[in-house]
């Protein structure tokens, strides 16, 4: 029996969505840990890119910033932002991008900018950073969040990064380069998107949680398919690799990304 925390489960689960040979935008936090874990296990030949300018990176320990020199040692090219977000991402070369968010709606649209009304914000969050660019132009988007009812909302306080916007046809309307979010992974469940409506659909529930737990923790009508399997548990190898990558538990010790 493998022992794991919620955060370890989340990172291990997310890492399985990365496929070998892909061009991946890693960022920082849990998304980066998931991408690095994939690279150390089943997807050794991913090209890990940081928007600050590092290409084909092989960090030995987790960087704390997209510009951290820990991304530098062993990378094959170290350039800049127009290179990564422009020539690489906007030109359509990124297979998968990872994002987190403070709020998500039923179409996978994300808020990372404000809690409360725009005119009088209660909490200023980090903002888009490269998030909007990645959500607009990465071929696939993997969204990672800790599960909290207040984050799965009917109406975002602010739409920072595009998911499937208003549903079928809306990404095409704005000529967005990427195809939008593919999965949403939390510490409670995995969700994907119903191909007909592009609304969030439950995909699998993690061990120890029920479908009702998930329903109790979203504020929109989640699509529930007839068959909801239990998510695979992490392997001991995945747990060990994660702790080697994050020896000070900077990400593993935290509640969110």
Closest distance to another protein from the beta carbon of 94 (Å): 12
Closest distance to another protein from the beta carbon of 187 (Å): 18
133 binds another protein (CB under 8 A): yes
Q: Is 144 helix (H, G, I), strand (E, B) or coil?
A: strand
Residue tagged active-site, from 8, 51, 119, 182 = 51
Cβ atoms within 10 Å of 177's Cβ, excluding its own: 16
Cβ atoms within 10 Å of 135's Cβ, excluding its own: 27
Residue 102 CA to residue 115 CA, distance in Å, equals: 8
Pick the stretch among 18-26, 39-47, 153-161, 197-205 that binds another protein (CB under 8 A). 153-161
Closest distance to another protein from the beta carbon of 254 (Å): 9
Nearer to another protein, 138 or 189 (CB): 138
Closest distance to another protein from the beta carbon of 12 (Å): 19
Q: Which residues pair with 98 in a beta bridge?
A: 142
Residue 140 CA to residue 252 CA, distance in Å, equals: 25
Nearer to another protein, 20 or 155 (CB): 155
Q: Which of 47, 128, 146, 204 binds another protein (CB under 8 A)?
A: 128
Q: How would you class 125 by CB atoms within 10 Å of its CB: exposed for 0-12, middle for 13-18, buried for 19 or more?
A: middle
Size of the site for another protein (CB under 8 A): 58
Nearer to another protein, 130 or 181 (CB): 130
Q: At what angle do helices 6-15 and 29-40 cross, to 10 degrees?
A: 60
47 binds another protein (CB under 8 A): no
Residue 204 CA to residue 201 CA, distance in Å, equals: 10
CB 94 within 8 A of CB 139: yes
81 binds another protein (CB under 8 A): yes
Nearer to another protein, 43 or 138 (CB): 138
Angle at 28 between CA 27 and CA 31, to 5 degrees: 80
Q: How would you class 1 by CB atoms within 10 Å of its CB: exposed for 0-12, middle for 13-18, buried for 19 or more?
A: exposed
**Catalytic residue status for 3:** no
Closest distance to another protein from the beta carbon of 244 (Å): 17
Just list the catalytic residues: 51
Interface positions with another protein (CB under 8 A)? 28-29, 51-54, 64-70, 72-73, 78-82, 85-86, 89-90, 109, 113, 118, 120-133, 136-137, 158-162, 165, 170-171, 173-177, 250-251
């Amino acid at each position: 029996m493998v022992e794991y925390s919620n955060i370890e489960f989340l990172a291990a689960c997310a890492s399985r969505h990365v496929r070998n040979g892909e061009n991946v935008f890693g960022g920082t936090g849990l998304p980066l840990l998931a991408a690095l874990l994939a690279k150390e296990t089943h997807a050794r030949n991913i090209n890990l890119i940081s928007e600050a300018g590092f290409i084909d990176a092989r960090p030995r320990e987790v960087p704390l910033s997209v510009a951290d020199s820990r991304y530098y040692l062993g990378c094959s090219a170290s350039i800049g932002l127009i290179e990564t977000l422009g020539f690489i991402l906007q030109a359509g070369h990124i297979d998968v991008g990872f994002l987190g968010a403070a709020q998500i709606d039923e179409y996978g649209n994300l808020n990372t900018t404000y809690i409360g009304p725009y005119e009088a914000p209660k909490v200023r969050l980090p903002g888009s950073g490269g998030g909007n660019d990645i959500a607009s132009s990465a071929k696939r988007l993997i969204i990672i969040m800790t599960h909290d009812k207040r984050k799965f909302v009917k109406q975002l306080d602010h739409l920072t990064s595009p998911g499937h916007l208003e549903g079928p046809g809306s990404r095409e309307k704005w000529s967005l380069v990427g195809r939008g979010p593919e999965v949403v992974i939390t510490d409670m469940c995995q969700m994907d998107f119903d191909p007909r409506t592009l609304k969030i659909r439950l995909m699998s529930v993690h061990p120890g949680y029920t479908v009702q737990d998930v329903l109790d923790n979203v504020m929109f009508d989640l699509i529930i398919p007839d068959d909801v399997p239990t998510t695979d548990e992490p392997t001991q190898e995945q747990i060990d690799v994660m702790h080697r990558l994050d020896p000070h538990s900077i990400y593993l010790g935290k509640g969110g990304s």
